[in-house]
Amino acid sequence: MSTLIVFFSFEGNTKFISETIAKTMNADTMELKISKEYPKKGFGKYFWGGKSVIFGEKPELINDRIDLSRYETILIGTPVWAGSYSPPIKTFLEEYRIQGKRIALFASHGGGGAKKCFAKLKDALPGNEFIGEIALVEPKKNPEDSSNEVVKWAAELLMKE
Ligand SMILES: Cc1cc2nc3c(=O)[nH]c(=O)nc-3n(C[C@H](O)[C@H](O)[C@H](O)COP(=O)(O)O)c2cc1C
């Protein structure tokens, strides 16, 4: 069965999870990229990202279009931003209107909000089956334990196929 991993990562933690999953599963990967990047430093980093979530912005993606009909399972990964998922994921969900897939969710966060983030993602993905979720606190700070945890989770997902 073919699997796609779709994710956005601002500072590399969600990307770390995605890369660990991809080593465990045979999956294609799509890293969402936006035309206008958020500022990476100082106050602006939280301000622009937070504002973008609160105003429901959908930043333009520069990825090539992908044919989702080839995939039965889609893993969606995001950093938790302001207790929700990151705006590039919102753009992706609106552009593709995913239906009838098996979906697993993964997130990186700074200590809170993952539950809310997953609940909002599920609300935004009606008509799909949810097969798993995992949230880690900034895994790049703790790479060994984090990758063990992710590998175990991904292996359990594979058993569900
Ligand atoms: C704009 C912005 C908003 C954030 N909001 C939250 C939050 O609500 N809860 C939380 O635990 N962490 C929050 N964080 C921290 C990130 O979720 C955390 O650093 C995560 O590991 C980043 O993943 P990434 O490296 O893939 O971008 C926020 C970070 C940014 C930049």
pLDDT 10s digits, 24-35: 999 999 999 999
pLDDT of residue 1: 67
Q: Is the CB of 87 under 6 A from ligand 1?
A: no
Contacts for 77 with CB less than 8 Å, ≥ 6 apart: 5, 6, 7, 8, 9, 14, 17, 18, 105, 106, 107, 108
Whole-number mean pLDDT of the chain? 96
Averaged pLDDT for residues 101-109: 98
pTM: 0.97
Averaged pLDDT for residues 67-79: 97
Domains of the chain (ranges, CATH numbers): 3-159 (3.40.50.360)
Indicate the top mutation candidate among 109, 115, 138, 146 to test ligand 1's pocket, ranked by most ligand atoms within 8 A of CB.
Answer: 109
Residue in this structure with the two tokens 């938790």, named with its chain if needed: 80
For residue 11, the CA-to-ligand 1 centroid distance in Å is 9
